[in-house]
Amino acid sequence: MELSRRGSLALGIGAACLAILPLRTNAAAKQAIADFTGGAELARGGVTLTAPAIEEDGNNVPIDVSAPGATAILIVAADNPEPGVATFHFGPLAGTPSVSTRIRLARTQEVIAVARMADGGFASASATIEVTIGGCGA
């Protein structure tokens, strides 16, 4: 089968769009984190993110996040169509700020937990989760 000029052009444009798409979604994840932190620097440590290394079904991925001293926790799935998964707020009467939940992942990707600490600083942790069957219709 021989490709016409029009077919070659369409194939090239499609490949360029696929190459740019991950950059766009990562930019959306960075923007979600910047909105949560107000652009503040993220410290490593102080947050524990527990997630499976491999998950067969992306529709139901269990994660646990713990951040002693946190007033809020943001969970971001970097390559999901909508990266901001959830934000949890903790009041002064909350025990240890921790969350156990299940999230949807479109494909293998990095999950990031960012905690706003009581002193006004921010801490983060991340984990890469390999997904064999994606959720989110991807």
d(CA 35, CA 41): 12
Contact status, residue 110 vs residue 99, Cβ threshold 8 Å: no
- Domains defined for the chain, CATH in brackets: 5-133 (2.60.40.2470)
Query: pLDDT tens digits, residue range 95-126?
Result: 889 999 999 998 999 999 999 999 999 999 99
State percent of the chain over pLDDT 90.
60
CB-CB contact of 77 with 83 (8 Å): yes
With a cut of 50, say whether residue 20 has pLDDT above it.
no
Give mean pLDDT, residues 68-83: 93
* Integer Cα distance of 73 and 112 in angstroms: 10
Q: For residue 27, what are the contacts with CB-CB under 8 A and spacing of at least 6?
A: none
Q: What is the pLDDT of residue 138?
A: 47
**What does the pLDDT average to over 77-95?**
91
Closest of 65, 138, 77, 72 to residue 110, by C-alpha: 77
Q: Check whether 135 has a pLDDT greater than 90.
A: no
Residue 44 above 50 pLDDT? yes
The pLDDT of residue 26 is above 90: no
| pLDDT score recorded for residue 6 | 62
